[in-house]
Amino acid sequence: MGEITLYRTFSLYEEKKEFNVLRGRVPNFSGSNSNSDIHLAFTIDEDTNTGMLFPNKGEGLVANSVTCMNDVQAEWDNKAWGLVNIKNDGSQKIDCTIHFSSEIPLSETVEVGDYISYTPSITSYNVLKTTTGYSSNQIINPSELNLWRVITVKDDGTIEMISEYASSVEIYFTGQTGYKNFIGVLNTIAKQYENGEYTEESRYTGYNGQTQYLTTLCASSSCVESAGGGDNSTETEMNLITRAIGNLKANIVGTTTESSYWVASRFYQIYDSRKYGYGRFVNLETYPSYEILYMESVENNRGHHVRPIVILKSGLKATGAGTSTNPWKLS
């Protein structure tokens, strides 16, 4: 069984500190008696690990339980990576075994910004021309986006994550039809990135309750959002993404080329007596940027990549470390 002894009395600690540094990794600990010697053993997936170094945080393990001798009680803090809440009734010796697992309850250890390996189940989806106003149907492959970044960990254990990359193809919207259906179509596209085994729901980046499908177009400069007047609802989400992962950039999947991608937000204005309807997008890292979908009776074709958000179910377990080279792998 792997183990480490931490001698807290000064003379013994001085005598043994070289052994501790070489043979084990010293975790944090706190409790009711700071003068106690602490002996820690550990198991991984119920197996003993004779001769192994004490596990380090970031090695893809989580402690499920702690058992101690002589009626000592203690807990393991997976985030601080140490023994806490030690209750030992004044004993000078604390002897505990930490039981680690390589299958981690994800919500207990994942952090905002972490990488998660996740593959949507759908390999082909047809975006109908009747919904976008474009001249033809368009096909996307949701399963190509398989690396994601955590943007929020909810109190209920669900985890929101955005794709690290943008889709390989652009989705085009055209004219008044494209403007009316813009947000609804993007949310429908985002739904194709779900996986019934792991996800609870989805939304498209920037969606914050706006009208998904408009039935009318604005005829004045003072229309409300539901009548086609555009919205200013994306600031909170875009700031959330920036805080979580550092910026709004996203390369096209499979390349090192930065993409532009749609955001679920409309903008409307009257300029020089003409009515304009726009879709917002991230232009490389610049947001907001605007594409004119219609100008009076003139209809434009405009295309950008897509970058969805999916929400993982609570209670999922994973292995890994949450890095780009060793992302969490759902199990």
**Contact predicate 20/5, CB 8 Å:** yes
β-partners of residue 44 are: 47, 100
pTM for the structure as a whole: 0.75
Rounded to whole angstroms, how far apart are CA atoms 130 and 137? 8
- State residue 188 phi and psi, 5-degree precision: -65, -40
Angstrom distance (rounded) from CA 166 to CA 250: 6
Least confident window among 52-66, 182-196, 311-325: 52-66
Closest by alpha carbon to 292, among 270, 276, 273, 275? Answer: 276
Q: What does the block give as tokens for 240? A: 């959330």
Rounded to 5 degrees, φ, ψ at 122 are -85, 135
184 is written with which tokens? Answer: 């609804």
Question: Mind listing the pLDDT tens digit for each residue in 106-124?
Answer: 988 899 999 999 999 999 9
**Least confident window among 35-39, 174-178, 193-197:** 35-39
Residue pointed to by tokens 């700031």 = 239
Give the C-alpha separation, 92 to 112, whole Å: 40
Q: Give the Cα separation of 294 and 298 in Å (integer).
A: 6
Residues 121-151 pLDDT 10s: 999 999 999 999 999 999 999 999 999 999 9
